[in-house]
Amino acid sequence: MSSEFWNRRTTVLTIWGLLFVGSLYVYWFEPGKTGFFPGCPFRLLTGLNCPGCGSTRALHQLLHGHVETAFFLNPLFVIALPFIAYAFLRHTSFSLQGKRPRPNALPAPYIYLIFVVVVSFWVFRNTPSYPFFS
């Protein structure tokens, strides 16, 4: 087995370990009330929410099984999480089998669509008509 295989495997297993430890920390300590959770620099500078604001609190709620509350805090994060998890699990599977994952070949229209969705969410969540105030 090549050193590239072992490096990739070690990297993936290290990332899984860090995700596990980080998830335990977020589970035990409630963001905004206990523990060390830095604030959003964009929100500190502008007073507006960025697309990621509320993600840590949403993850805390998801880990406790409160999907509705998590969706209230950051709906984009809750919707995107299964896709992110799928991509990482797929990459992990390839890495542990010693295969090289295909290069990311997402067609340009999908990339533009993702960009428009994120920017639209960013604008919409900072308007007075936004139904979910965080």
pTM equals 0.84
> Any idea of the CA torsion for 122, 124, 130, 134, to the nearest 10 degrees?
10
Name the one residue in this structure whose structure tokens are 């297993």: 13
CA distances from 53 to 10, 12, 60, 62, 73 (A): 31, 27, 13, 15, 8
Distance (Å, whole) CA 2 – CA 63: 37
Quick: pLDDT tens for 45-58. Answer: 999 999 999 999 99
Quick: pLDDT tens for 22-78. Answer: 999 999 998 888 878 888 999 999 999 999 999 999 999 999 999 999 999 999 999
- Residue 26's nearest CA partner among 71, 69, 57, 72 is 57
Q: Measured in whole angstroms, how far is the alpha carbon of residue 91 from the centre of its chain? A: 16
* Helix, strand or coil, per DSSP, at residue 75: helix
Looking at residue 110, its pLDDT comes to 93
Please check whether residue 31 is in contact with residue 58, taking contact to mean a CB–CB distance below 8 angstroms: no
